[in-house]
Amino acid sequence: MIKAGIIGSTGYAGAELAGLLLGHPEARVVWYGSRSYVGEAYSSIYRNMFRMVDAACLDDNMEELASQADVIFTATPQGLCASLVSDRILGQTKIVDLSADFRIKDVKIYEKWYGLQHKSPQYIAEAVYGLCEVNREDIKKARLVANPGCYTTCSILTLYPLVKEGLVDVSSIIIDAKSGTSGAGRGAKVPNLFCEVNESIKAYGVASHRHTPEIEEQLGYACGEQVVLNFTPHLVPMNRGILATAYASLKGDVSYDQVRAAYEKYYGGEYFIRLLPEEVYPETRWVEGSNFVDINFKIDKRTGRIIAMGALDNLVKGAAGQAVQNMNLMFGLPEDTGLKRVPVFP
């Protein structure tokens, strides 16, 4: 049985992680960490856990936790994991970090986009980017995994086969993405109040969103060249879900069958990526509560461009579900263990 600890268990991603691990046949949570609720019953914060979790919240003492847990999940704001990790801790346990601290390999880019001084840059090279469908073999050997962001997971997986196979001009990529409000976290912020969000949609982080360099870096690895793209996120009045619509110019007269073959090549055997039938397009409602990503595309012959679309649940495949998927790989378990949730509808 894998003993798991969660630092940041009372945020939305942390709570989703707690729920997934509660139903995991090979894992149990030994530490519900939350700096804001130390000593309070976890089920008093999330009443859906009443009579399911009897534990009280503990602090974020990673050194103490490392002596008790086989794996630590850090579902915390940027900078915390980097400030706590050490050789001693990594010598005792594995870490899956849900923040951005170890996702970007160039520390200067991280510090520029996040406005933080990185506290442990010595571990950046070692950290494995935890996009399971792309880096599976490296994840299996890792002791520190950087769990990808929600927008990035959806955007990268939607575009990866096109970029990897050289079917599109990477300088032409534009990503238009929309997320539910849980992606903004559980903290009380005026822009996220019901009356501020309901009956509205807005763009934010325009030409400045922190997930941009992460998407560019990972797509750059796929095609072997520098990628610079436009990424614009939008907030929509729903609890959870992301829909990413990406546009790019095709290289030459590329057919539907060629593109479909590229997607089948990389995703045909993937359990969690569902390639939809022709003319059927992703919707967030069909992935809600699950670890699935639904993907499809449309070639616009008139403009010579392709429109690729992906949908996922930002709290599951975009955060906690992917973290559990990474844990499964790190401990030699079948990748889908504890993750075979059917999407919730309605």
pLDDT in tens, 268-309: 999 999 999 999 999 999 999 999 999 999 999 999 999 999
Closest CA relative to residue 74, chosen from 56, 93, 60, 53:
60
pTM of the full structure: 0.97
To the nearest whole number, what is the mean pLDDT of the chain? 97
What are 304's two structure tokens? 């010579």
Domain residue limits, the chain? 2-126, 151-314
Q: Which CATH superfamily is domain 151-314 in?
A: Dihydrodipicolinate Reductase; domain 2 (3.30.360.10)
Query: Could you tell me which CATH number the domain at 2-126 has?
Result: 3.40.50.720
The pLDDT value given to residue 226? 97
Residues 312 and 316: their CA atoms lie apart, in Å, by 8
The catalytic residue among 132, 150, 154, 223 is 150
- Decide: residue 101, CB within 10 A, 0-12 exposed, 13-18 middle, 19+ buried: buried
pLDDT in tens, 148-191: 999 999 999 999 999 999 999 999 999 999 999 998 888 878 98
The pLDDT value given to residue 188? 76
Indicate if 223 belongs to the active site: no
